[in-house]
Homo-oligomer: A and B are copies of this chain.
């Protein structure tokens, strides 16, 4: 695998267009009654035709046996080694709520929690307070004034919020206050490097003031913080691949991940049809499009096999909108598997179609896990998808003399 610098040296700008369609949580597991996965169950004539015309394979987002979070799953698809480039929990949380995070910010994931009179945590999630209650409490916490930094406390869902410290000389190299168990007190946050001393001091100051502010708000009478992190400094896809890339994603976290690698975020409606229409509308303006379909993953996480099948069928039905654009390269795959049977992300490899004029066809005639397992691309790491897409768009020069 080439380094990003080596890739930079051979990539070249051209008018050829690449569309990367990411069906989140695409891969599944067979339902015992039928021995068919969600994708095998779904009626997908358009995807099957694309599989026939393209070359297929199976990708491992991180490596065999490893279940990826959303960040490593997407970074790999964008061509970034997910073991080398990591995104902290706090940053991912603020990306997920469209918060305009700055490079000097330190972000942490927060939980409202319940402590008893002795100060010991009795419920790490404060009984999962309603999101509306959360919003009110975050407003109160936002009024806290810290010595040497601005503070943003932004509600997420139920007991979850994000805390952002904005100031000079901050670092995310700070331990969690969340003890990850009940019956003990929230932990003092400690700097893990000298440059993190200020951030740790601010975090402890915030926790102390939050405790005072929340004293009368049982069960949400304290906060727990974890995943302190800063915006990772990634080379952009413009730098590496010389791409003028755009992202179409209805869910904030995926817009955030695309922003991390320098893609332009296009405004879009929430449905799959809206997203595909957004692609059609902006097709002339960019040479790379990342299109993200979220609901397949949500259905998988809910354990709703049939709902996931329906999402896949909806993608299939709308696929001609993309096909009609006749992109030079069309990649259809997922960032990881989310089998409805497991109700969670999983480690299973993900089927992939790479369609281009320059594919050496294989015998796969159907878009499914078993069919793609015998595809000509074989089984390979997701981080190699971008080089393959670039090559098939004739956007990569020869490596070496």
Contacts and interface: CB of A to CB of B under 8 A. Distances in A.
Interface of A: 1-3, 6, 10, 27, 29-30, 35, 37, 58, 62-73, 82-83, 86-89, 92-93, 227, 341-342, 344-348, 358, 360-363, 369-370, 373-374, 376-380, 384, 386-392, 396-401
Contact of A387 (B30, B63, B346, B379): B63
Nearest to A79: B65
Contacts of A29: 358, 360
What are the 3 tightest A-B residue pairs by CB atom distance, in nearest-first order?
A65-B387, A72-B400, A65-B391
A2 B62 contact: yes
Nearest to A90: B401
A135 to B, nearest CB: 23
Contacts of A360: 27, 29-30, 37, 348, 369-370
Nearest to A336: B398
Given A64-B384, A70-B401, 6 more contacts: A30-B361, A65-B396, A66-B391, A67-B396, A69-B398, A361-B370
A30 B53 CA distance: 13
Of A66, A363, A389, the most chain B CB neighbours within 10 A belong to A66
A109 B95 CA distance: 49
21 contacts: A2-B62, A2-B66, A6-B83, A30-B360, A62-B399, A65-B384, A65-B386, A65-B391, A65-B392, A70-B401, A82-B399, A92-B401, A344-B398, A345-B398, A346-B358, A347-B391, A348-B360, A360-B370, A362-B370, A374-B374, A378-B379
A318 B345 CA distance: 37
Given A63-B384, A388-B65, A71 B362 contact: no
A361 B401 contact: no
Contact of A67 (B362, B376, B399): B399
Contacts of A370: 360-363, 376
A358 B386 CA distance: 29
Contacts of A82: 399-400
B361 A64 contact: no
A63 B378 CA distance: 13
A400 B68 contact: yes
Given A63-B1, A69-B400, A70-B401, A373 B373 contact: no
A390 B67 CA distance: 11
A87 B401 CA distance: 7
B66 A387 contact: yes
